[in-house]
Every structure is written in C-alpha cells, then in structure tokens.
Structure 1
Amino acid sequence: MNLSVSLTENLCFVASLLKRLISDIESRPMLADPMSKKVLIYEHFDLFSLTNREKEIGFGWLQNQSTLQISLALGISEATVRHTLKKVYSKTKCHDRGGFIKKFMV
C-alpha cells in the first residue's frame, strides 16, 4: 500500500486512516475466536432488547442452522423456533433471513 503524500497536504487524514487500519487489523484475531464472536453478537442483540431465548435462536439462525437444528439443540419444537424468529424479526425490524444476517454479521 502506498501512502505517499506531499508535505503541503494535511497529514491528519493519513493519521486517522492508519489508526483505523491498525484497529481493524488488531480486531480480526478476536473475531476469529467463536466465543468472542458470540459475545459481540449477543451484545448487538442487547440493543434490540432480545430475551435470552431469542438470542439463542437468533444466534443459531446466524450460524445458518435450520429451525429443526435449532429446535433439537435447545430442546424445543420447530413451531416455537419459528414463532420466536418472527418476534426477533419484529424487534430487529428485519423482514427475512438475508436482512437479519446483514444486520448482525457486518
């Protein structure tokens, strides 16, 4: 990457760009850890006042699990998972799985 600038230009822009790049690079290893990723997503869920059960189901949904997989993992019916997902979508103002994933995985 070439960050050459003339001496007459304002270096504040370059400094803030470098600071952002360093911050992004430093945070990558943390996001690679599944537990850290889960904690960050749960914190994001907190902004929407999701219950613990809604968080569990929403997290499974983000992990590309089916309603059957989520229901078996949590010991609840598929109907309960689908009903809870509707509540999660309503609270998070999402209309489909794609929008939900975009909102929480970015």
Structure 2
Amino acid sequence: MEAQQLEAFRPLDAEQIELNSGQSGVSYPEESKEHIYHRAMISSIRSEMNKLSQLLSIPYVVFLTDRAGTILELVCSSPVTREEMDQAELRPGVSLSRQRSGMNAVSLAMEMNRIGVVRGAEHSDQTFQNWNCVCAPLQDDDTVYGYVDISFNRGEPIEFAIPFVQQIAENVMEKWMEKNPEMQQYRLEATLQDYKLTAREQDVARLWLLEKSALHIGSDLGISEGTVRNMLKSIYSKMRVNDRFQFVKRLTP
C-alpha cells in the first residue's frame, strides 16, 4: 500500500473518534434483523471451527466481527490462547475498525472489500505484532454481513491461511447460515411479508408449507375448510403460483 493509504490506518484519538461517531456509513435500520444475523453467524462460526479444529495443529484465534468491525465472537485453539486474548482485552464488543485499532487484517479487509493480510509488525496495535492475520468478508451477493479473521504466530507460514479463511467464510455463509433455524424462519417471514399476505394468510401459508391439509389448517385456526381454500387462492394469486409445488419452491431456498 502507498504511504497515503497507510496513513489512513493511523488509529484516531478519542476526540477524533467522538467527532466521527455516527459517520461510519454503517447503519442498522432493522435492529432485529442484525441481531438475527449476528446470532446465526456466531452459531455458524462455532460449528465450522468445531469441524475444522482437528485440521489445525498450530495455536490460533478466529475473530468474528460484524460489518462495523466489532468483535462478536472469538474461537481460541486452547485455554492458553484464550488467556492471552483476555490479557490483551480482546473480547466481544471490542472494535477492530481502522478508527479504533488502526492497521489489522479486519480493518484492511473492510477498507479494501476483499481478503486482508497483515503480518507481524505491520499491525498498528502491539498486541498483534507477534501474529500473522488473514481476514475475509462474510458476503452474500453484494452485501457484507461481517468478517472472519484467523490469527496465528508470525513464525508460521501464512500462505495456507489465505485459501483456508476464504473457505471458512464461504462455509459460514453458504452452508451453516442456510441451515440455521432462526435464519430460515426470518427469511420465511420476510418473504411472506414481501408478497403482502395478510396476517391470516401468513398463518395459512405457514401450515400449507408444512404440508397440512386444508381441513387440518381450518381446524388449527378455527376457520372453515372453505375459508382456507379461498385464502389459498388469494395466496397463490399474490405469489403468482399455480399449485403447491410452485408455492413451496417460492418459499424454500
């Protein structure tokens, strides 16, 4: 990177941070949506690293952050590594953004919108200067939901970590997040609302998706079978489908 670009990674002092607060370009208009994604991301990174931990024989730390660079979760390879993180006061809620922490793999990935690699002494924070760090965005289509960083001793070769962290990021977004029950429920609810179904139509649609019969749905909701069938006609019209197969396909990833 050029000197002018590197200068941008100089951590701001407290007064500058206060002046810049609220101007980061990151806003969360749907707080509940962010919380759902964060919980799903935390669950996903735990599942992924539980699966991959046996493949890593070196000490490591995995940082999961939100899209603003704030740590959501740490996965440490051992109690010793966890203690090291505690001593460095690296925990959920700590920001690894450029403004707060200067140059690190997370802030570089945020700035460049791609994988960031920062070695040892290249870090602004002395805490990281014994580590090599590689970070990849957690991205779905064109939207970044967070970042995953793997950090390890600077004496270890860094080349393996670049494709490794990229695979972790892909698995989190394409495998674990897709399986997460809370994410599946959120996406279903969002889709039903996108089709402008009424509250009662949404109740019918959820049960119809579970392959319940019109008679069963009527019994569950306290309405007649005929009313259920009339609602299904309205649902099909709004969703522009002709049968149950097309209906299910619209509502399942």
Quickly name the TM-score band, shorter chain normalised: 0.7 to 0.9
Task: Say which structure is richer in strand.
Answer: 2
Q: Post-superposition shift, 1:60?
A: 0.5
Distance 1:62 1:51, change over 3 A: same
Task: Work out the percentage of aligned pairs sharing the same amino acid.
Answer: 29
Structure 2 contact 204–232 (Cα < 8 Å) conserved = yes
> Post-superposition shift, 1:18?
5.3
Within a 5 Å distance, the mapping from 1:66-81 to structure 2 comes to 66-81=213-228
Q: Which entry has the higher C-alpha Rg, 1 or 2?
A: 2
Q: How many residues align?
A: 91
How far did residue 29 of structure 1 move? 4.8
Q: How far is 1:28 from its partner?
A: 4.4
Residue among 144, 156, 175 paired with 1:25: 175
**Structure of higher RCO (CA pairs closer than 8 Å, 6+ residues apart):** 1
Q: 1:91 to 1:62 in 2, by over 3 A?
A: same
Q: Which residue of the partner structure matches residue 5 of structure 1?
A: none
Q: Normalization by structure 2: what TM-score?
A: 0.33
Distance 2:185 2:169 in 1: 26
- Structure 2 gaps of 5+ residues are 1-161
Correspondence list, 1:2-41, <5 A: 15=166, 19-31=169-181, 37-41=184-188
Stretches of structure 1 that go unaligned for 5 or more consecutive residues are 1-10
Higher relative helix content: 1
* Stretches (4+) displaced over 6 A: none
- Is the aligned partner of 1:54 residue 2:209? no
Task: Report the Cα offset of residue 50 of structure 1.
Answer: 0.6
Aligned match of 1:97: 244
Name the Cα RMSD after superposition: 2.3
Instruction: Determine the structure 2 residue equivalent to 1:3.
Output: none
> For the Cα contact (< 8 Å) 2:178–2:184, is it kept in 1?
no
